[in-house]
Structures are given as C-alpha cells and as structure tokens.
Structure 1
Amino acid sequence: MAQENRASKVPFYTFGTTLAEQEKQLKVNPMLKRFDASRKELAEDHHRPTYHYVSPEGIMNDPNGLCFWQGRWHMFYQGFPPEDPRVHWGHVVSTDLIHWRDLPYAIYPNPEDRVYSGTTFVEKDRVIAMYHGVGSGSMVATSTDPLLLNWTKLGNKPVIPIPKPGEQLPYNVFDPAIWKKGDQYYSVLAGQRPVGPGNKMVRALFLFRSTDLANWQYLHPFIENDGYGMVGDDGACPYFWPIGNKGKYILLHFSHMSGGKYLLGDYDQVNDKFIVTDGGNFNHGPMLPNGVHAPSAYPDGKGGINVIFNINEGKADKTWGRIMTLPRLLTLDENGKLLMSPAGDIASLRSKKVTVAETPLPDNQEIVLSAVSGNALEMHAVIDPKNSPTIELNVLRSPGKEEYTRILFYKNGGFWDRSVPGKAVQYSAISIDNSTASTLEGVRSRVPETASVLINEGELIDLRIFVDKSIVEVFVNGRQCVAVRMYPGRSDSQGVSIQAHGSPATLKSLEAWQMENLFAKP
C-alpha cells in the first residue's frame, strides 16, 4: 500500500553548509521577510509582549528541543504556518537566551501528519532531534550545519512506530526524550499505565535503547518510587538531564491534567531505572486559561538546567496567543532542593531605572508608588514582612483601580512539609490573582496561581517581578516562580502599589527598570 503524501504546503529552503553562506542566504530569505512583515503588523496589539518570545506569525504551542550548538542557543517550537496550519517546528537562535532571532521553519511534516514535541541531543559533529510524529511514531532527524537550518530525517520513517490497528503494546508511543550513555542511545516515551488506585491511569515513561538511532529495543518502565504525580498524569514533553555536582538527575515533564512538573532522583545506570527522591510542580493551578504549559530544557554546562515554558492565553485570538516564559535556571541547594532564578542576559534589556528608598508600610494602607509605572517592567523588591500575614503588591493598576493584578505573599501561609519525621516545616506562599486584571469582555480569569515557598524565620522577602503587557512572572528568594497571563483593557493600567495587611511591614528597597523591545530592529 502506497504511503500517504503528507507534504507541507509551506515554502521549503535548503541552505549552505558554512556560516557565511547561511548568513548571506538568510538576508534575502522570503520566509524571514514574511516574518518581519508579520511582526510589524501584530505589534499593534497592545497585549503582545515586548521582551518575552512570541512567534512571528500565527499561534504557537510547546517549546521543543532547546539546545546549545557551536556557541548559540537554539529553541524550536510548535508553529502553525498560515498556508498549512499543521504543526511544523519553528526555530529561533540566541547567544544570550533573551535576544531571539527568527529562523525559517526547521522540520516539516511528512511522512508524519504533524511535528509534535521532542528533544535534542548534541554530539560533537551533529545535533539529533527525536520527536513525536503524529500518525507515524517517534521520528529522528539530524543536522550538522552551523545554524541548524538543514535537517535530514532518518530513513524518512518512524524509528518507533505507533501500534497497528488492534496491536497491543506494553508501552505508549508518545513524546520522546533522548540521551546517550556510553556508546548507546536511550529514549523515554511518555504515557500512562493502569496501575493506579482502582486500576486508574497514572504517569509512566517507557525506556528504549539503540546503538544506531534507527533500531530501538524496548526495555521497561523507567520510573520507580514516584509519589509526586497525580492519578491521570501522562508525563508528556519529558526532558531527562543530570543536575548539580552530586550525581542527581531531573526529569522535567508536562501533564495534560495538572501541568508542568519535575522529578528529582538517582539514575540507576546498572538497571536503567530512575529512582525518584523528590519532586514538585511548575504549575500551581490550571494550565488553562492563562497558565504555564510545557517545558523545554537543556544543561547550562555548569551543573544547572535552563528551561523555557510556553504559557497559555486567556482570550480568543486566532492571530496569536501563547507566548514563552522567560528562561529559568534550575539548580540544587545544599539539601538537594530545587532552586530557580531568571536566566539569560535580562539586564541587557533594561533602560530607564527608578529606585524607591526604604519605605514604612503602615498596616492596611495601600501605598501607590508614583515613581514606578509601566507595562513592560522589571522590578526587584526586598520586603521585611515583620508580623504582617499578607503583603500585597499590585501591578498593571489603573489610577482608579478599575483594573489591577494582585501579587500576594502569605507569611507562613503555605503547605506544611511533614516528609521528615519530627521535622514539620510550614512554608509561606506566593500568589498571582488576575481576577481584577481586566474590564474587557471575553477575557477569562482563573483561580489564583498559588505556590508554597520556604522562607526561613527572619529572612527578608526577595522578589524579582517581570511585567510584560499580558504576562506577570514572579521569582521568590530564588526558590519559587509563578507566572500568569492577564489582559488589561485600559491604556492607563500601568501603576504599582504595595500594602501590608493586618500589621505594619517595611519595603526595604525597590528597583524598577523599563524594558526594551527585543524584537525592535536597529
């Protein structure tokens, strides 16, 4: 039976093999000219971010295959070209994880119907992409050129095919992650097994091994001792990397039920099992609407992991919607707990700076910080909560408070950690509430995104806050991050205020910068 022709209608280009050739060709590439025109047109939307990456045309879904190759960061993403809105891998490149440069679409569908999520593995002389080809199975493609513009699919067929009608397999064929141990390649495929309570489905990852990338042997389920998932999770978009300098590993993934997650543990390389010792969430509320979605992650070369997520929209928009978060650097503290902080050269986007000196915060009195205003801001605030149970910081606030987004810190208001006998510890909590952020019709709010964060007794609250038109991201003491979308309808919703509830507190310092547009052409 002849194979169905699923060739894309999107223009396809072949590029030279040297950097000089490629740069020359890119200067006159029709696709990039089209991207530039589309960016200019879409920039008129006042909800479109200025320093978070958003696709040049059409809607966008998961980031994929983040990697570092020949001195540059590459990120791929699920793009929907207008002339053939099946998923293709879009492609951007950066030297600092912040200033992203559009490149033409990288991987096109055929024989697969759509190019879905996957990861990359960098070798000395090539980059390997392994991804889920809808309707086909796990696909492998390779590239060797300086800007990863030319990709060749191995055998032009799936290396792990989806099951035939009626075929029963002990594994799912879904999103893959790839790595190498010794001279053999390994891959885990995402999925579920009916081994939960009442035979309900729970997260599973299925391990394969290969010597040549073309022929894969199924081994067994990969995860053991996993108590950090929910019944119904499915482990999509997995990334498996070493983290820290003590032999630990992290498995980042996404659940279509409960959002972005991570597992920490030990890689048993004799039995090829991942022994889970800790875990947590990147989502602290629903992924839809307005919530963090799937990760793409790659080591920073110093023991940390750089990760970028896509984040969902909260209003109907057929021209664009989802965007990428800022990159986060994941590391481990001395106790093996996950730390997270902003990554990349964010400082290069800063322009006008405003400093607010130490300011007393009387109880139950909102203080408008009149010197700080904008809808594309970075802020660094240090707060002594003293005995105040709740500190509220409002951003994107209109003068009459018709619209505002609430950032709330709850001292000792998070979960209790009772995982170690006799050492119960109560966490604090950080929350973003967008229920009052917009007066526009058709904009959806969501339950507050609320995450627990460990703040030691007497420790100051250290907030890194990023406001960018329709997204707010908050990093807390380098240990937690929450992010939410919102859509202010008023042009004057740009103010900032702060309030201590219940008891006085002190704003020790606040620095704020206006942020430049990373898409602006010189």
Structure 2
Amino acid sequence: MKRILIKITALSALLTVSAVMVVQAQTDYTSKVPKYTFGTTLSEQEKQLKNNPLIKRFEASRKVLAADKHRPFYHYITPEGRLNDPNGLCYWGGNWHLFYQGYPPEDPRQHWGHVVSKDLIHWRDLPYAIYPNPEERVFSGSTFVEKDRVIAMYHGTKVGTMVATSNDPLLLNWEKVTGNSVIPYPKAGEKVPYNIFDPNIWKKGDHYYSLLAGTRPVGPGGRNIRTNFLMRSKDLSKWEYLHPFVEKDNYGLVGDDGACPYFWPIGDKGKYILLHFSHMSGGKYLIGDYDQKRDKFVVTDGGNFNHGPVSKGGVHAPSAYPDGKGGVVAIFNMNSGKPIGNGNFTEMMTLPWLLTLDERDKLQIQPAGDVESLRREKVSIAETVLPANKEVVLKNVSGNAMELNLAIDLQKATTLELNVLRSPNKEEYTRILFYKDGGYNGRSDVKHKIQYSAISIDNSMASTLNSVKSRVTETADVEIKKGELVNMRIFIDRSIVEVFVNGRQCIAVRTYPDREDSKGVSIQARGNDALLKSLDAWQMENIFSKK
C-alpha cells in the first residue's frame, strides 16, 4: 500500500508539473498598451500620427516631466516611464531609427519604444513598436536592413529569440516571424551548448547569422567569461548552432558577459568591431578580423566605453549601425546615479558617438550627427595664460546645458583641472581632470611605444543631495601626440557630462547638482603655467520644447 501511495503521489506531482508547464505555455502576455495599425504610405502614416492618442499622450507627458531640473535638454530621454537599453539603431527610408526598452505606465513590462531622426540629434517620438506576446517582455536586440524590409531580432523572455519584420516608411507596423520564438529555450531536461540571450543579426551570402550573448564557465577556477554563440539560418525561422564566435580575446574581464552585441565592419582595411555590454563592467568593444571561411572573429584589439563598475551613473549598453562611410554610429544609455523614485526619469541616452579607426586600427571617438545645430548664444575667450595652481573662474561662461570647446597647450603643467556645474563657493562641482602622460605605458605595442595621458571625471562633489550616489572616478587613457594641443569638447546637459578628447576618447558620467546656482565653470593648471589657446562656449537648444 505504501509503495502504491508513493507512486500515486509521484504521478500526481508529475501531472501537476505538466499542467503548470501547459499553463505557462498558454499564458497570454498581451499588452495593456493601446496598439494601432498604420497605413503603408508615408502620407497616410503622417496623417494618422497627427491625431494618434499615444503621440498626444507623449506630448502631454513631456510637458509635465519637463519640470524635473535634472531632465536633459538635448540628450534623448523617453517621453514617459523608464528607459533602458537602446536597441536596433538603423538607417531606413532617409531616417535614423532608434528603439529602446520602454516601460509604459499602464503595463510596465519592456516594450520597444521608438524614435526617429534626420540628424541623430533632433528626435521625434513614435508609438511603441514591438509589444510583448508570446514573450513576456521584449528585451534587447538589433536590426538588419535589407532592400525591402527591416529585420529585428531580440530576446523574448520566457520563450527565446524572436524575429519581427517591418517594411513601411516609418517602421510602425511589425509582424513576428512564425508568431513564436525562432530559437526557443531548451525543453525540460534538454541541454544545449549555447545560451539564449540578446541577439545580433547580419547576413553573409545566402545565410543570416545571429550572435547570442552569454557566458561559459571556462575561466580561471571555473569562473564565467564572456562567450558569444553563432547561429545560422536561411529563412529566419529555422536556426542551426555553429560554435562560439570570438577567438583570441584577451581584453574581457573574468565575470563579463557579452550582452547587447553589435557586429559591424569598420574602417577601410577589412576590420570589424564587436560592441557589447557587461553586466559587471559596462560597455566594451573588440576589434579584429572576420574569418568568413571559418566564421570566426579573431580579436586584435579591444577596450572599454565605461571605465569602472557598471552601476551608479556609468555608460551602459550600446546600439550601433554603420554610417555608410566606414564609421559606426553608437548610442548608449546611461545608468542613473540616484534612486528610481516614481519611475518617470532614470536612464537616458548619450549623444551619438562616431567610431572610426586610425592608421594603426586604434579606435577613435567623436560626436556624431549635427550636434552643432544645437548651439545658441556663444561666449569666446581668447588666448590666455593659466597661472600655476590658481583656479580661474570664467565669469562669462555659465550654464547647465552647454557645449565647451577648448584648445590647451599644457607646456610644463602636469595636470589640467576644469570644474563645471560649479556653485560660486564650490558647495557643488563636477571635476574634469586631464593628466599629461598620466596614463598607461603602451608597452604592448612594440612598433609604437606610447606613454598615454589620461582623462577623468570626478562627481564626488557634484551634488549635496543625500540620495545621490557618487561614482568611482571615471578614468580613461588617451593618446596625445608630441606637439599636439589638448582639444576637449565637453557637453553638459543638466545631469550628464560627456567629454571628448582629441577625437580619440570619450568618457561620460551622470551628475546631479541640486543648487540653482551650480552653473559655473573654472579652470586651473597644476605644477606650472599652461596656455589656454581658445575656449568657445555655447548654450544648447532644448530639443523637447515646442517652438
């Protein structure tokens, strides 16, 4: 009798598990967000958008949220709810399209939000693009543009990898291939040699290729290291696994993962770049050669977009697409440095960055898009000596939404310090430091031994708010060649500071000054005098305010 009872109990448990699995498989994840079908011509779509309830809702929400003093003027921020990873940046029909993980207020599961721009700077909100179901949430992914359509490939939680396509002028209507996941999660008890997470998509010959993010426990002591898994398909619906894609990667950290991958050609010498994200150390890149016979990416260089822990105000995940001229445009979201609060404003996007390669195949970074169109009132400072160890407050340079463009001859000075978002008595300030020859010694490059300089941003004194968390000082190497001036383009936008140096490096940090008078700028040379060759400062346009 006891054995019979045990068998009945076990059978009952098995049936219960099976029933749960059936219920999960049939769960309806239909979004509560209104969804609209649009016409197939541009004129039809524009007419429908004028009175679209979601667009009107976005406009009303932006007006309300504009009261937040830390909300940016010219960096993109969602019109409502939270914002997370940028997704699927692409160029289609004369427009740049950017998707992102949005959290609609009536159903705060990830949907793909959608904006469009002619110049990568002035963005226009469009309705949510991809809604959940059959997936529970629409996670990160990328797009691939063909002549007659755009393909989106993304991670659908609870089901696996999803593919959707659109071919209308503004990419407003999306259809999911097969209506289900095309790379499903393994069945109970089934083992597969790959992870299913954020996918990237491209095409070679007659096949589509997909790179899936993930890790393998093959690092020191059995620890996880970043691994990206390559899949292949002829029709987007049936995929075969090939192998791990990346070889000779000595740039990743133990514990990194390869989330949000973007794999594109870069430069004019056959090189490729793999941008990705680590949930431990933030945005990263690998440069190398694409062995198309073996379908392997052989790494020759690499580095970081985020120079510290992933959290507390650092650069987060990328989305990237070729500019058609050998460069790659990348946009990142920035982590928040304060609590989420009511969920209306946390993360935001960086400016678009243009990634190129120099003659030695080293990555170069400068602003992309028509950022100059944002410039308004201008103040200039002519050539000026900066006395050693004396802070010079720039009396006529002030603001919390500005661009600063500086050219400096450091001469024998060892360090240059700029304080931005500075209150008159320095209760609050964000400190930018340039260390001449203060970076790593580039001994690894046998043919070009370099003593790098370094650029850093310190936000430990940026805010008097007790809710704001300081970030470990963001510090990155940058090469300054012999005889070169130090050229900085500094973009200040209320709660973000982005610094581009000589077109070779960029660092960015979130910062939250609380005082209304934290708008000043000062400059100081340390050790010896330096020469400020020129400084131009512009107030920047608010791209979200109606004219």
**1:287 aligned counterpart, secondary structure:** coil
Paired position in structure 1 for 2:107: 84
CA distance in 2, matches of 1:355, 1:86: 47
Structure 1 pair 146–405 and aligned structure 2 pair: CA distance change class (3 A): same
Paired position in structure 1 for 2:428: 403
Counterpart amino acid of residue 35 in structure 1? F
| Structure 1 residue 422, shift from structure 2 partner | 7.3
Given the alignment, which residue of 295, 305, 325 partners 1:282?
Answer: 305
Given the alignment, which residue of 344, 364, 368 partners 1:319?
Answer: 344
Paired position in structure 2 for 1:59: 82
Paired position in structure 1 for 2:45: 22
CA distance in 2, matches of 1:358, 1:340: 27
**Is 2:293 the counterpart of 1:270?**
yes
Q: How many residues align?
A: 522
Given the alignment, which residue of 27, 34, 37 partners 2:57?
Answer: 34
**2:49 aligned counterpart, secondary structure:** helix
Given the alignment, which residue of 92, 112, 120 partners 1:69?
Answer: 92
Given the alignment, which residue of 258, 273, 276 partners 2:281?
Answer: 258
Paired position in structure 2 for 1:94: 117
| Structure 1 residue 287, shift from structure 2 partner | 2.0
Counterpart amino acid of residue 437 in structure 1? A
Comparing 177-186 with 455-464, greater Cα deviation is found at 455-464
Counterpart amino acid of residue 488 in structure 2? L
CA distance in 2, matches of 1:268, 1:403: 52
Given the alignment, which residue of 415, 436, 446 partners 2:440?
Answer: 415
Provide TM-score, normalisation by structure 2: 0.95
| Structure 1 residue 445, shift from structure 2 partner | 0.7
| Structure 1 residue 116, shift from structure 2 partner | 0.4
Paired position in structure 2 for 1:335: 360
Structure 1 pair 422–25 and aligned structure 2 pair: CA distance change class (3 A): closer
Counterpart amino acid of residue 68 in structure 1? Y
| Structure 1 residue 43, shift from structure 2 partner | 0.2
* Structure 2 unaligned blocks of 5 or more: 1-21
CA distance in 2, matches of 1:420, 1:239: 26
| Structure 1 residue 415, shift from structure 2 partner | 1.1
Paired position in structure 1 for 2:182: 159
CA distance in 1, matches of 2:437, 2:246: 33
Given the alignment, which residue of 388, 397, 401 partners 1:363?
Answer: 388
Question: In the TM superposition, what whole-angstrom CA distance separates every residue of 1:347-406 from its partner, at most 9, and x where no partner exists?
Answer: 111100110111101110000011110000011000111111110011000111111100
Structure 1 pair 422–70 and aligned structure 2 pair: CA distance change class (3 A): closer
* Residues 218-237 of structure 1 mapped to structure 2, 5 A cutoff: 218-237=241-260
| Structure 1 residue 81, shift from structure 2 partner | 0.3
CA distance in 2, matches of 1:43, 1:346: 21
CA distance in 2, matches of 1:251, 1:147: 28
Question: In the TM superposition, what whole-angstrom CA distance separates every residue of 1:162-216 from its partner, at most 9, and x where no partner exists?
Answer: 1223321100000000000011100010101111112211110100110000000
**1:10 aligned counterpart, secondary structure:** coil
Paired position in structure 2 for 1:434: 459
Question: In the TM superposition, what whole-angstrom CA distance separates every residue of 1:433-475 from its partner, at most 9, and x where no partner exists?
Answer: 0000111121111111100111122211000000000000000
**Is 2:330 the counterpart of 1:307?**
yes
Paired position in structure 2 for 1:445: 470
CA distance in 1, matches of 2:448, 2:122: 45
**Is 2:150 the counterpart of 1:124?**
no
Counterpart amino acid of residue 310 in structure 1? N
* Residues 435-514 of structure 1 mapped to structure 2, 5 A cutoff: 435-514=460-539
| Structure 1 residue 56, shift from structure 2 partner | 0.1
CA distance in 1, matches of 2:248, 2:487: 34
Question: In the TM superposition, what whole-angstrom CA distance separates every residue of 1:39-95 from its partner, at most 9, and x where no partner exists?
Answer: 000000111000000000011000000000010000000000011000000000000
Paired position in structure 1 for 2:70: 47
Question: In the TM superposition, what whole-angstrom CA distance separates every residue of 1:268-292 from its partner, at most 9, and x where no partner exists?
Answer: 0000000100000001112210110
CA distance in 2, matches of 1:326, 1:518: 13
| Structure 1 residue 325, shift from structure 2 partner | 0.1
CA distance in 2, matches of 1:100, 1:380: 24
CA distance in 2, matches of 1:254, 1:352: 37
Paired position in structure 2 for 1:374: 399
Comparing 360-369 with 440-449, greater Cα deviation is found at 440-449
Counterpart amino acid of residue 347 in structure 2? R
Counterpart amino acid of residue 281 in structure 2? S
Counterpart amino acid of residue 181 in structure 2? P
Paired position in structure 2 for 1:521: 546
Counterpart amino acid of residue 306 in structure 1? V
CA distance in 2, matches of 1:428, 1:60: 34
CA distance in 1, matches of 2:445, 2:462: 40
CA distance in 2, matches of 1:245, 1:447: 37
**2:228 aligned counterpart, secondary structure:** strand
Counterpart amino acid of residue 519 in structure 2? Q
- State the identity as a percent: 71
Cα RMSD, aligned residues only: 0.9
Question: In the TM superposition, what whole-angstrom CA distance separates every residue of 1:240-267 from its partner, at most 9, and x where no partner exists?
Answer: 0000111000000000011100000000
Structure 1 pair 445–208 and aligned structure 2 pair: CA distance change class (3 A): same
CA distance in 1, matches of 2:310, 2:244: 27
CA distance in 1, matches of 2:151, 2:179: 14
CA distance in 1, matches of 2:302, 2:418: 29
**Is 2:124 the counterpart of 1:104?**
no
CA distance in 2, matches of 1:199, 1:254: 21
| Structure 1 residue 18, shift from structure 2 partner | 0.3
CA distance in 2, matches of 1:390, 1:452: 14
| Structure 1 residue 420, shift from structure 2 partner | 3.0
Counterpart amino acid of residue 477 in structure 1? N
* Structure 1 unaligned blocks of 5 or more: none
Counterpart amino acid of residue 483 in structure 1? A
Counterpart amino acid of residue 321 in structure 1? T
| Structure 1 residue 425, shift from structure 2 partner | 2.0
CA distance in 1, matches of 2:50, 2:445: 59
Provide TM-score, normalisation by structure 1: 0.99
CA distance in 2, matches of 1:442, 1:257: 23
Higher share of residues assigned helix: 2
**2:86 aligned counterpart, secondary structure:** strand
Given the alignment, which residue of 220, 228, 240 partners 1:197?
Answer: 220
**1:326 aligned counterpart, secondary structure:** coil
CA distance in 1, matches of 2:113, 2:96: 14
**1:239 aligned counterpart, secondary structure:** strand
CA distance in 2, matches of 1:498, 1:135: 53
